[in-house]
Structure 1
């Protein structure tokens, strides 16, 4: 294992959730890799989303909570450039072995990754009121 890979694993911290023998590759990857990265990168994701709102001149703060949640999901699901930026913030913290797993299962992992990120941002929507 390279020094970079060792550093990344230590820097991210422990797995979040449980991994059992019955866990699929995607479930294991989600709990061992994605959840720790999403937790680590939380502040930058929130800052990126706030920048996205300002940059695109969205009237986000005057919307109802339901509309804010829809706008959050829409930004990540429909704006390919923004979604790819967020994806890069996650993939950039993969080890070489994790990247190999990701490449083999990228479609399923991308769906999990973006779904988890949408839920993370939606659950913090109140922080955008600062």
Structure 2
């Protein structure tokens, strides 16, 4: 019952049917829809991270960075702050069905790597929303 409810919540995303690997199929059929569903929460988590580290607010260092510096900061944060990265990954994994969890575990390191890259790209592509909201 939980699995059916989770699947019903996800937005439909069309993807190229010429996927070559199980990891790519999982990325397109599971990770992308979950990231889209959780987008506002993921941005809110990153915004909170910035505020907590005094990067947003009265002395908004993040807002004063160039676009390239902001992207580098986002990439560095997600790659190196393991506690925060695990929070973001857990936000996505919490939306998995039982079967998706089993698939994820079968290729955990590759799928975690892909998920980290997707999280980074998603937040980088919306960096303006981090400052304005």
- Tell me the TM-score range normalised by the shorter chain: over 0.9
* Aligned equivalent of 1:55: 52
Q: TM-score, normalised by structure 2?
A: 0.90
Q: Give a deviation string over 1:35-92, Cα, whole Å, max 9, x none.
A: 0000000001111111000111232111111111110111111000000000000000
Count of paired positions:
127
The structural deviation recorded for 1:24 is 1.0
Unaligned runs of 5+ in 2: 56-60
The structural deviation recorded for 1:113 is 0.5
* Aligned equivalent of 1:84: 86
* Aligned equivalent of 1:117: 119
Q: TM-score, normalised by structure 1?
A: 0.92
Unaligned runs of 5+ in 1: none
Question: 4+ residue runs of structure 1 moved beyond 3 angstroms?
Answer: none
RMSD of aligned Cα (Å): 1.2
Matched, 1:33 2:13: no
